[in-house]
């Protein structure tokens, strides 16, 4: 019966799967029914996509098995999307599959627990076992297979699918681009949205892309730059002389994780202003709203726009360039542009160096150093223990500045304290700021936890500006929120009327004029450097020359051409040359080394040195050993491992990130000998002071 009426069965199965998937994605059967009634065309178009995938069953004898496998794949994707949307606003897309390794590094945080990981693994194992048994015991198609006819049917379905998609786009029944990904998935369905993220990746070649187009854009920018050749920096209302301009200011750009102004939320009631320091900067220095490409998650995409000046709307649905094009292509950025003028360029972040493939991306951007959490002696964590607090970033940012004493620096600092998820139960017994006004007690608890963490971040901002003020160096500070938190906010809940708007603020100590402006994330650093009289880089000078007219069609068309040329095209803007190669990124600025080792009374071995962290691991002959972190000067190898050491074994210490990535190794190694007294590295260049007790 299934084979005789298989097409009808596939049609019914497709509709049933779409309803279940939408119920999972929306976490509501009622909302799935509303989607069916109010977006009927989208519902059946999603069903057509599943019907198309089911057509491949005719190529196999075990058709029932293939139907089950295809159905399970779609159901699993829908369930995953529902789980993702319970933690963030941005739905699940193809590029998220490239972030699985990042998700696993977040085990035992409030975002992703060990228990959840175990449950997922068990369920997948049960499914695999079931499919294996069904493959061995299940029914086979007994008729003549007609493989040629089946292949032709599949090809025909592919053509129908392509034609239907083209017609749906041209009639505007289905959108080809989602300005708001979350809204796009909601209006057009998960299956269509996810399929778009699979098929639509990278950048499409602009219709007018050519060498002459790029040359014309460059000429237009050069002309605007020539007209503004007498760069002016306001300082006490005077034009700075050429000699003074050579003293380049430090530029510190700080991404504030999930940072927003809670007073912008219409229904919240707060016992006091949670961000007085950020607000004071906004009142005194250049500030405004910042339009970002994501909401609830997707920090790397806001980061990409800020650092490159490129617009994410020209990329595929839900794409993370860090996980796609930047895996294979270098990219001009603010770091490479400022490096060309003599700046030292650094990144500071109290999270893993491999998260979002950042170590690779920052190398492709041309940064000199990256101080990730693996290089930090982190001691303080948020009340949930999920994330490090941000205070440590002040000292680490100072280290980055001090590492290049004879040049100006660009430091990009990324905070993490405001990161979700936010608990529904009350965690902070006596919060500094009390919050009410949400619909439920659980939501009030979430907002109260979030607001108090943001309040701590605001204190970090004050401490950071104090540190920079004490340095007596011309400095520009740019602070921005990467996206709103995952709290189910809607446009009507905000004074700005847009969940894709955060805020930015600046600070400087050399008299720049306050010029407030609402900007897109990809314009932020062009605007900041423009005010400081810095006009460097292909994309950044383009924004400056075009005066940030993001609503202009011509402006966006030219930006799209430049982006495509740099990342996917012939690089006509560089005359075909590779002007901005990837850097040899150095992890950390502190030089770690081993001073000596000593045998302990319990048979363990202590390695003594400098700048060790919780992510330091002892290696014996290039084999990673279980390591106990005692302090930034001492690590311990267990007695069992020590007993296995032999004369001549080489000991070293490495800073290790996720997936056992070695980020940095001690500058020296020591050889182990079974002597009673400690043996130090024979290096006359190292001066080692050893106390009597250590000897």
pLDDT digits (tens, 9 = 90+) for 369-406: 999 999 999 999 999 888 999 999 999 999 999 999 98
Contacts of 348 (CB under 8 A, 6+ apart): 371, 393, 396, 397, 400, 411, 412, 413, 414
Pick the closest to residue 464 from 530, 539, 395 (CA basis).
Answer: 395
Describe the crossing of helices 190-199 and 181-188 by its angle, rounded to 10 degrees.
130
d(CA 334, CA 529): 10
Mean pLDDT of 530-538: 93
Residue 413 phi, psi dihedral angles, 5° rounding: -110, 130
Contacts of 526 (CB under 8 A, 6+ apart): 309, 539, 540, 541, 543, 544, 548
State residue 105's pLDDT score: 55
CA-to-CA dists, residue 1 to 7, 9, 58, 141, 187, angstroms: 11, 9, 15, 11, 36
More confident call, 378 vs 87: 378
Average the pLDDT over each of 19-23, 180-184, 358-362, 577-581 and give the range with the smallest value: 180-184
d(CA 370, CA 417): 19
Beta bridge partners of 637: 605, 627
pLDDT at position 246 over 60: no
State residue 239's pLDDT score: 40
β-strand 409-414 against 250-256: which pairing, if any? Answer: parallel
More confident call, 114 vs 455: 455
Contact 374, 366 (CB under 8 A): no
pLDDT at position 321 over 80: yes
Contacts of 436 (CB under 8 A, 6+ apart): 268, 269, 444
State residue 234's pLDDT score: 42
pLDDT at position 503 over 90: yes
Average the pLDDT over each of 245-254, 428-437, 527-536 and give the range with the smallest value: 245-254
Contact 111, 421 (CB under 8 A): yes
Q: How many CB atoms lie within 10 A of CB 328?
A: 8
Contacts of 446 (CB under 8 A, 6+ apart): 422, 423, 424, 438, 487
d(CA 362, CA 358): 6
The pLDDT confidence band at residue 135, using thresholds 50, 70 and 90, is: confident
State residue 185's pLDDT score: 87
Handedness of CA 590, 594, 595, 598 (dihedral sign): positive
CA-to-CA dists, residue 116 to 94, 105, 220, 400, angstroms: 21, 13, 55, 38
> Residue 252 class from Cβ within 10 Å (0-12 exposed, 13-18 middle, 19+ buried)?
buried
pLDDT at position 582 over 70: yes
Contact 90, 49 (CB under 8 A): no
Mean pLDDT of 63-79: 92
pLDDT at position 117 over 80: no
3-state secondary structure of 290: strand
How high does pLDDT run on average in the chain? 89
CA 639 to chain centre: 41
Tokens standing for residue 263: 């007073």
Mean pLDDT of 329-349: 97
The pLDDT confidence band at residue 112, using thresholds 50, 70 and 90, is: low
Please report, rounded to a whole number, the percentage of residues in the chain having pLDDT higher than 70: 90
Contacts of 365 (CB under 8 A, 6+ apart): 307, 308, 330, 331, 333, 335, 336, 583
State residue 232's pLDDT score: 44
Average the pLDDT over each of 67-71, 110-114, 193-197 and give the range with the smallest value: 110-114
Beta bridge partners of 289: 503
More confident call, 93 vs 276: 276
d(CA 185, CA 84): 13
pLDDT at position 465 over 50: yes
β-strand 519-520 against 287-291: which pairing, if any? Answer: parallel
Pick the closest to residue 477 from 588, 362, 373, 397 (CA basis).
Answer: 397
Contact 414, 348 (CB under 8 A): yes
pLDDT tens readout for residues 471-481? 989 999 999 99
Rg (CA), the chain: 28
Beta bridge partners of 196: none
Tokens standing for residue 429: 């017994």
Please report, rounded to a whole number, the percentage of residues in the chain having pLDDT higher than 90: 71
d(CA 637, CA 643): 10
d(CA 513, CA 532): 10
CA-to-CA dists, residue 566 to 203, 329, 341, 561, 621, angstroms: 11, 9, 20, 9, 43
Question: pTM of the predicted model, to two decimals?
Answer: 0.84
State residue 386's pLDDT score: 85
Handedness of CA 323, 292, 310, 168 (dihedral sign): positive
State residue 641's pLDDT score: 94
> Residue 197 class from Cβ within 10 Å (0-12 exposed, 13-18 middle, 19+ buried)?
buried
d(CA 577, CA 568): 14
d(CA 658, CA 665): 15
């Amino acid at each position: 019966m299934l084979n005789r009426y298989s097409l009808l069965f596939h049609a019914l199965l497709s509709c049933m799967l779409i309803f279940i998937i939408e119920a999972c994605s929306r976490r509501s059967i009622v909302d799935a029914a509303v989607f069916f009634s109010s977006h009927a065309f989208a519902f059946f178009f999603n069903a057509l996509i599943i019907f198309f995938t089911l057509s491949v069953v005719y190529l196999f004898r075990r058709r029932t098995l293939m139907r089950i496998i295809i159905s399970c794949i779609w159901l699993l994707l829908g369930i995953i999307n529902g789980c993702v949307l319970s933690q963030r606003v941005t739905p699940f897309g193809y590029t998220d599959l490239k972030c699985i390794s990042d998700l696993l590094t977040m085990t035992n945080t409030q975002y992703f627990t060990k228990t959840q990981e175990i449950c997922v693994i068990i369920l997948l194992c049960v499914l695999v076992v079931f499919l294996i048994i069904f493959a061995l015991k299940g029914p086979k198609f007994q008729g003549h297979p007609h493989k040629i006819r089946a292949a032709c049917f599949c090809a025909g379905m592919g053509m129908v699918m392509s034609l239907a998609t083209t017609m749906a786009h041209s009639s505007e029944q289905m959108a080809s681009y989602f300005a708001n990904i979350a809204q796009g998935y909601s209006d057009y369905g998960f299956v269509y949205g996810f399929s778009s993220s699979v098929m639509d990746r990278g950048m499409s070649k602009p219709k007018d892309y050519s060498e002459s187009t790029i040359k014309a854009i460059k000429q237009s920018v050069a002309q605007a730059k020539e007209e503004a050749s007498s760069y002016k920096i306001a300082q006490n209302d005077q034009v700075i002389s050429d000699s003074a301009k050579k003293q380049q200011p430090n530029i510190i750009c700080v991404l504030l994780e999930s940072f927003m102004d809670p007073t912008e939320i219409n229904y919240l009631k707060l016992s006091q202003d949670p961000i007085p320091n950020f607000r004071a900067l906004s009142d005194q220095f250049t500030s405004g709203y910042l339009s970002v490409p994501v909401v609830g998650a997707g920090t790397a995409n806001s980061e990409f726009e800020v650092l490159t000046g490129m617009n994410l709307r020209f990329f595929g649905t839900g794409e993370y360039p860090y996980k796609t094009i930047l895996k294979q292509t270098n990219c001009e950025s603010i770091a490479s542009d400022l490096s060309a003028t003599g700046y030292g360029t650094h990144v500071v972040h109290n999270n893993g160096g491999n998260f979002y493939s950042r170590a690779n991306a920052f190398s492709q951007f041309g940064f000199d150093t990256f101080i990730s959490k693996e290089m930090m002696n982190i001691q303080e964590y948020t009340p949930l223990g999920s994330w490090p607090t941000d205070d440590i970033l002040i000292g680490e940012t100072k280290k980055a500045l001090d590492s290049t004493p004879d040049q100006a620096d660009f430091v990009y600092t990324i905070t993490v304290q405001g990161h979700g998820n936010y608990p529904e139960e009350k965690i902070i017994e006596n919060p500094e700021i009390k919050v009410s006004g949400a619909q439920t007690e659980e939501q009030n608890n979430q907002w109260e936890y979030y607001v108090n963490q943001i309040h701590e971040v605001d204190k970090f901002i004050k401490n950071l500006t104090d540190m920079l003020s004490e340095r007596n160096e011309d400095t520009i500070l740019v602070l921005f929120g990467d996206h709103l938190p995952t709290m189910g906010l809607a446009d009507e809940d905000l004074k700005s009327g847009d969940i894709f708007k955060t805020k930015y603020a600046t600070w400087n100590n050399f008299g720049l004029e306050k010029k407030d402006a609402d900007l897109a994330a990809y314009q932020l650093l062009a605007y900041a450097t423009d005010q400081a009289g810095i006009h460097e880089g292909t994309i950044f000078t383009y924004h400056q020359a075009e005066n940030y007219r993001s609503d202009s069609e011509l402006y966006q068309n030219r930006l799209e051409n430049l982006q495509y040329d740099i990342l996917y095209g012939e690089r006509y803007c560089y005359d075909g040359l590779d002007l901005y190669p990837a850097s040899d990124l150095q992890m950390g600025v502190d030089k770690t080394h081993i001073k000596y080792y000593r045998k302990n009374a319990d048979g363990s071995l202590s390695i003594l040195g400098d700048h060790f962290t919780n992510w330091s691991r002892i290696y014996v002959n290039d084999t990673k050993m279980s390591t106990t972190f005692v302090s930034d000067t001492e690590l311990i190898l267990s007695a069992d491992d020590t007993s296995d050491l032999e004369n001549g074994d080489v000991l070293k210490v490495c800073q290790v990130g996720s997936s056992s990535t070695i980020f940095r190794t001690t500058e020296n190694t020591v050889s182990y000998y079974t002597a009673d007294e400690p043996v130090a590295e024979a290096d006359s260049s190292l001066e080692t002071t050893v106390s009597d007790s250590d000897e």
